[in-house]
Amino acid sequence: MEDVRCPMCGKPNPPDEEVCQFCQARLRPIEGFAFSDGDLYFDSSKEPGKELGRDVNTSTGPELPDWLKSFRQEDDAGIPSEEESLEASIQPGQESSQEEIFSEGVELPAWLHNLGEEAIIEESEIPGEESDNALQGVEELESSLEGSIPDWLSNMRHVEDPSAPDESLSTKQSLAGTDGEPEWLRGMRDSQEDGITAPPDEVKIPGIESDDSGDIFTQSEEEKELSGLPVGTPEGITDWLRQLEEVEGKTEKPEEAVADRSDDSEVPGWLMGAGDEFAEPEEISELEEAASPGEEIQEPKPEPIIPPQEEEIVPAWLSGLEASTELILEERAPEVTGEEEFSSLLEEKSLESETPPVKAEPLPDYFQGSVAPFTEEELELLGEEMPAWVENLPVSETVAGPLEEKIGEDGIERGELPGWLEAIRPSETEEATTSISMVEENARVESAGPLVGLRGVLPAEPEISRINKTSGYSVKLQIPEKQQARITALQELMKTEGKPKLVQDRLVISSQHILRILIFVGLSLTIIWTSFFGGENILLPAFPVEVFDASQAVNGIPSGAPVLLAVDYEPGFSAEMEAASTTVIDHLMLKGAYLTIVSTTPTGPALGERLVNLVNRRGNHYYQDSNQYINLGYIPGGLTGLLAFAEMPQRITPSSLTIDKNTGKQIRVWQDTQLKNLTRLADFSLVLVLTESPDTVRSWVEQVQPVLRQTPIVMVTSAQAEPLIRPYYEGRPQQIKGFVAGVAGGASYEKLTMRLGPAAKQWGAFSNGLLVAILIILVGGAINAIPGFIHPTKRGGEAKS
């Protein structure tokens, strides 16, 4: 390896030496922290323009010189906090607060104080796109610098930028009024003037390089932090350079300082970027021209990727210092204005962050000739000899060199970090991660849609719009055992639903059938036995009053008198009715009554004929049609027909059913028979109604009886109609003269008339059969009632079913 030349005395030293053997100056910059007294550091991986943390004021590095410690103490006393500074930068009209930073923090020299004011004003006034204002700010800044910048700085500028316009040159010349310029600076300047042409370089002061973020608020914040504070020193820079850099940072506009910090990941351009292809003279001249008044400031070109730089080709740092001052002033105005530049700056930032680390190589030749300004030991002595404005500089947050982080990652030995810096490492890591992810997101390029090619486009609901393959789900149900049992039961129920139910075969002979058969057999045998064997010996019933009245009514008609015989019973009741009425009709025939048969039922006329023939046979009568009796037939219309017949019998029944054998025509009843003298029903001697129905009785009583006047009505009814007939009989005046009800009534009537007939014959069978029926009801009722008394509930339920 080559020997390391001491930056102070210029003598060669072995490469493994840390300190110069001749002058005891440090041959290599202190690793571990960028600036000897930097409260702030800047991480290359961090989002540009964003601070990761602050120093711990209480912890002071062991290698910090006293004069830097004093800076920190002063910073603690007078410099507002970072957050306060940030708020002040965000809020409009906060120039006063920044002024306070300058005024209250330390007693700055007049030129620095004006410089700070101008920078703040320029920052707040310069919009992103108003380059005129930026130029104006530059002019004001330069004018303010006149007379306040030390001469040695002015000279440096003047020497390094001979091609600058006149105005800037005058400014530089005014700044170059150097009283107390160090010898080494003067020598460097002389050497450059002697022909050492500084290669055009995009000189960037470490720690204050351009911020890729372009956030004006962040820039102003960091600018405040940088103002009046020592600038972070990148690796490989000696302390005396840091001091010089610090001074440069103070003279720069605030936004310049902020912007320069964006590239803190790379090796400082002013030191290592010399000879770089980016620092070509054309570019610098263009920027200088753009910064000149009266000309439009062109938008800064995106910074290309910075390849690894070699220190051998790095131009004089001092020339770069002057150029960077001009250059950065020109770049700031458009940089803070255009938001579209943000993405490009980010890209540059990312690319620059990938820049290989700078190897600590020996200083170039042009630097060999320069005399190192100070050694560490001299710095302590220098602190006493420093100008007043340097001593009074407030210790502020400076941009820490992210270079150390970069170098550390690349395997270069790290320096010892002070305690206060180690303390803030964790937060640094988190912030770095966040910033990296943000940068990656911003670097995302849109691949579809109208925003194709743009970076940093917010994804349009990526999770929603993402088309995923439909996940498959199992269709198998998890059924508990209880539900499975229910399902099985339901399935079985459904299966049996379609099947025909097996109907149990009924027993051919059930208990009910037996009971019915027993009833039939008992009654039949009783009736048959009584009818054929000794039924006539049974005592006939006593004749009741109604029967007697009925016989008296029949007895009261004259011989051959017309009698209206209404046969209004059904053929089913013929047995009972014939047994009850035969004796009455026989009695009438005995009286020689002219029977006029009429009926309100369709079968009545036939029954009338049947009854007459029956009585003729039993009573030895010879009643013949149209001579002794006449059949008027059926009266339709029910009650209406009966009323009509009662009012006008001739019109309702004008002829009989009997056909005249001589003429072959129907007999005109009311002209050709014994009825020819009759005009109304009241002319009949007796009205005998044979019916089994209470309704028919009522109809005759209600419709016919009113028109009969004195003509009596006698009823021969079934036993079932007796209860309803009796009221008409028992009423006063009587609506019916008497009645004969059922077999018992007929038997009574026969007994009364002493003409035993069918009723008397049936009376024995009727009586015995009725007794058997009574026994059946009693026995059956008792059998069915006993279980009901024993199990009343069960029987009740059975009854409901």
Which has the closest alpha carbon to 417: 82, 408, 409? 408
Cβ burial of 99 (10 Å; 0-12, 13-18, 19+) is middle
Closer residue to another protein (CB): 726 or 755: 726
Tokens of 309: 């730089």
Closer residue to another protein (CB): 293 or 636: 636
Label each residue of 600-656 as H, E or C: CCCCHHHHHHHHHHHHHHHHCCCCCECCCEEEEEECCCHHHHHHHHHHCHHHHCCEE
Which has the closest alpha carbon to 225: 74, 365, 385, 399? 399
Min CB(685)–another protein separation in Å? 24
Closer residue to another protein (CB): 41 or 594: 594
Task: Kindly report the number of other CB atoms within 10 A of residue 252's CB atom.
Answer: 27
d(CA 743, CA 576): 6
Closer residue to another protein (CB): 459 or 572: 572
In the chain, the amino acid numbered 193 is E
d(CA 321, CA 332): 16
Closer residue to another protein (CB): 210 or 599: 599
Q: Are 232 and 34 in contact (CB under 8 A)?
A: yes
Q: Phi, psi at residue 275, to the nearest 5°?
A: 75, 0
Min CB(538)–another protein separation in Å? 5
Task: Kindly report the number of other CB atoms within 10 A of residue 778's CB atom.
Answer: 10
Task: Kindly report the number of other CB atoms within 10 A of residue 782's CB atom.
Answer: 9
Min CB(702)–another protein separation in Å? 8
Closer residue to another protein (CB): 444 or 516: 516
Min CB(554)–another protein separation in Å? 22
Min CB(630)–another protein separation in Å? 11
d(CA 210, CA 269): 11
Min CB(635)–another protein separation in Å? 7
Closer residue to another protein (CB): 48 or 745: 745
Min CB(589)–another protein separation in Å? 18
161: left (phi over 0), alpha (psi -120 to 50) or beta: beta
Q: Which residue bears the tokens 């099985």? A: 488
Specify the pairing of strand 12-13 against strand 594-599.
unpaired
Closer residue to another protein (CB): 186 or 618: 618
Min CB(576)–another protein separation in Å? 8
Q: Which residues pair with 699 in a beta bridge?
A: none
Min CB(580)–another protein separation in Å? 14
d(CA 364, CA 352): 23
Specify the pairing of strand 562-568 against strand 666-668.
unpaired
Closer residue to another protein (CB): 4 or 772: 772
Min CB(754)–another protein separation in Å? 19
Rg (CA), the chain: 72
Q: Are 161 and 134 in contact (CB under 8 A)?
A: no
Closer residue to another protein (CB): 523 or 682: 523
Angle between helices 792-800 and 758-790 (to 10 degrees): 120
Task: Kindly report the number of other CB atoms within 10 A of residue 599's CB atom.
Answer: 23
Closer residue to another protein (CB): 63 or 660: 660
Tokens of 124: 């707040």
Contacts of 545 (CB under 8 A, 6+ apart): 738
Closer residue to another protein (CB): 77 or 778: 778
Min CB(676)–another protein separation in Å? 21
Min CB(617)–another protein separation in Å? 12
Contacts of 55 (CB under 8 A, 6+ apart): 38, 39, 40, 72, 397, 420, 421, 424
Q: Are 612 and 588 in contact (CB under 8 A)?
A: no
Closer residue to another protein (CB): 206 or 769: 769
Min CB(735)–another protein separation in Å? 11
Tokens of 180: 């107390």
The CA–CA distances, whole Å, from 31 to 63, 524, 570 equal 11, 141, 140
d(CA 706, CA 342): 127
Min CB(756)–another protein separation in Å? 16
Tokens of 691: 């019916």
Min CB(727)–another protein separation in Å? 5
Closer residue to another protein (CB): 56 or 659: 659
Contacts of 769 (CB under 8 A, 6+ apart): 523, 526, 527, 530
Which has the closest alpha carbon to 715: 742, 745, 733, 738? 738
Label each residue of 173-187 as H, E or C: HHHCCCCCCCHHHHH
d(CA 353, CA 332): 21
Closer residue to another protein (CB): 473 or 622: 622
Min CB(629)–another protein separation in Å? 11
The CA–CA distances, whole Å, from 772 to 512, 720, 742, 778 equal 18, 19, 19, 10
Min CB(788)–another protein separation in Å? 4
Q: Which residue bears the tokens 């700070």? A: 116
Q: Are 56 and 419 in contact (CB under 8 A)?
A: yes
Min CB(561)–another protein separation in Å? 23
Closer residue to another protein (CB): 281 or 641: 641
